Amino acid sequence: MGGVAVLAQAAGHRVTGCDAQVYPPMSTQLAQQGIDLIEGFDEGQLELAPDLFVIGNVVSRGNPLMEAILERGLPYVSGPQWLADNILARCRVLAIAGTHGKTTTASLAAWLFEAAGLHPGFLIGGVPGNFAASARLPAAWGQSNEAEHRPWFVIEADEYDTAFFDKRSKFVHYRPLVAILNNLEYDHADIFPDLEAIETQFHHLVRTVPRNGLLVANGRDETLQRVLVRGCWTPVEWFGRPQEWDLEANDPPATLTVLHRGELAGALESWPLLGEHNRQNALAALLAARFAGIPLKQGLESLANFRGVKRRMEVRGTVHGVTVYDDFAHHPTAIQTTIAGLRRKVGSGARILAVIEPRSNTMKLGVWADALGRSLEGADRVFCYSAQLGWDAAAALKVLGERALTIENFDSLVEAVAKEAHPGDHLLVMSNGSFGGIHDRILKRLAKGAATP
């Protein structure tokens, strides 16, 4: 919704916004854009007398401002619908969908288009290092109504529901010309009863992609294959399949070697991101860019200058030889692949200390409790913040033995982590929220005294 606000202002509207618990980097970005933020949902905000209320899916019935809007019959629309009608309708849309990797893949694609001189618009659920903000209009937005000349717009296409009054997935509003289907696992247990329900939503997205467009799909994901078997009317390019597009499996960490049907198609020897999942994200973005007329070789060269995304293995600081990372991982698969990527970088001789906050709705419901311990196997020590969980985190992590510690008090957590950290350790913090600013708290605590050798 912060990105939608940025786009609305860039399109010439006066924009204000309200939310609860706004935190960086989005709060900082909105302030820099001159967008006024109001904490909370007091119905007194009706005095602003806006022409339209744009409603995000965090708002539910019972929200005092929303109730006042309904009682007075004031105009409102969902964020995705407003975006589709007012911004995306003038663009060729590249949508990136999947349980994992949406933000990184969207950032990669936006950078490939930018480096090729296409100056795309984008809306990304994070702040890409190559851009000053998470959202912007295309440079040529509104200059042409001819479909083939419309500018490109890269959007992170979320399967979560649209609004309390529209329970379809957000991405069905976007009507992309090109869609990347990265992967599909069960998630969002608060709104989806099972994996099949999410598959249905993904197939709704597939139904909206025209036959002159492209689907870029993960050939290693059996769930996505089931989605496309339901019906597909668009050409498909599969990545992660040896018989189609794939990467050389034995590449060193900083190398990307692209293979097409087993033959060398291009290579990059200065790839900056960690993990096999990010290598596949890059391949998907390269294939989408290729459809837009960007040659594979040119795309690979541009990837050397990709600067990553905030909160995706972002180094927050190094104190007394302890490096602290911030990562958005909150699903067992993402947690496991993130740790594996860091392990590949630092080697077997360095210790990885994982600090996890099970904060997502699915995690809080305990859906992934049984899988959480296994996902953290690659870490040398695990610290789990267990406050306000409805399930036994200690029991869930019992598989890790003495390597795991669950702590309910935040200050005690910071102290325990800082005391455990040794010079040369890599401290990986994983949460889909601000985690109380724990990264800075740990860095400050480490700075008070050298880590114990």
In whole angstroms, what is the distance from residue 377 CA to residue 397 CA? Answer: 10
Task: Name the helix (H) or strand (E) containing 347.
Answer: none
Residue-wise pLDDT tens for the chain (453 aa)? 999 999 999 999 999 999 987 777 778 888 888 898 899 999 999 999 999 999 999 999 999 999 999 999 999 999 999 999 999 999 999 999 998 889 999 999 999 999 999 999 999 988 888 998 889 999 988 787 788 889 999 999 999 999 999 999 999 999 999 999 999 988 877 888 899 999 999 999 999 999 999 999 999 999 999 999 999 999 999 999 999 999 998 888 788 999 999 999 999 988 888 778 889 999 999 999 999 999 999 999 999 999 877 777 788 999 999 999 998 877 888 888 889 888 988 888 899 999 999 887 777 777 778 888 899 999 999 999 988 888 888 998 999 999 999 999 999 999 999 999 999 999 999 998 788 889 999 999 999 864 444
Q: H helices of 128-194, where? A: none
Kindly provide the residue ranges of all beta strands, DSSP E only, lying in 119-240, ordered along the sequence.
121-123, 135-136, 152-156, 161-163, 166-169, 178-181, 214-218, 236-239
DSSP code string of 23-72? -TTHHHHHHHTT-EEEES--GGGGGG--S-EEE-TT--TT-HHHHHHHHT
The pTM score is 0.81
Q: What 8-state DSSP symbol labels residue 126?
A: S
In whole angstroms, what is the distance from residue 146 CA to residue 259 CA? Answer: 35
* Structural domains for the chain: 2-74 (3.40.50.720), 87-303 (3.40.1190.10), 314-447 (3.90.190.20)
Q: H helices of 91-191, where? A: 102-115
Which residues lie across from 122 on neighbouring strands? 136, 154
In whole angstroms, what is the distance from residue 447 CA to residue 317 CA? Answer: 11
